[in-house]
Amino acid sequence: MRAEELLPDNINSGEFQGVTVRKGTVGAFLINAKTWKNPEATAADREQAQTLMQEAVPALYALGVLDIFEARDPALQSLIEQHRTGA
């Protein structure tokens, strides 16, 4: 399947397993994870990245991403597991 078959250019979000997922969620999660792990990032930037990652976790599970891939970093994996259902 091509990306445009999943979400065409004119569609910005879709519903997967009852969760609305916006286009760009996976990419934004990855960028935020890099910021969160960057020791040179400010505390405020790391905190914002963490909040945004926590919000995205249920969508990543709904897409199946986190059923297939696991974070190598134990702290990141713990954050993911804690927010699986948006808790």
Q: What is the mean pLDDT of residues 49-56?
A: 97
Q: What is the pLDDT of residue 48?
A: 98
What is the biggest distance separating any 2 CA atoms in the chain, rounded to whole angstroms?
39
pTM for this predicted structure: 0.89
Long-range pairs for 76-81 at CB < 8 Å and ≥24 separation?
76/33, 76/36, 76/37, 79/50, 79/53, 79/54, 80/53
pLDDT at residue 86 is higher than 90: no
> Of 71, 6, 1, whose CA–CA distance to 36 is shortest?
71
Give the separation between CA 12 and CA 37, rounded to whole angstroms: 28
pLDDT at residue 60 is higher than 80: yes
Q: What is the pLDDT of residue 68?
A: 95
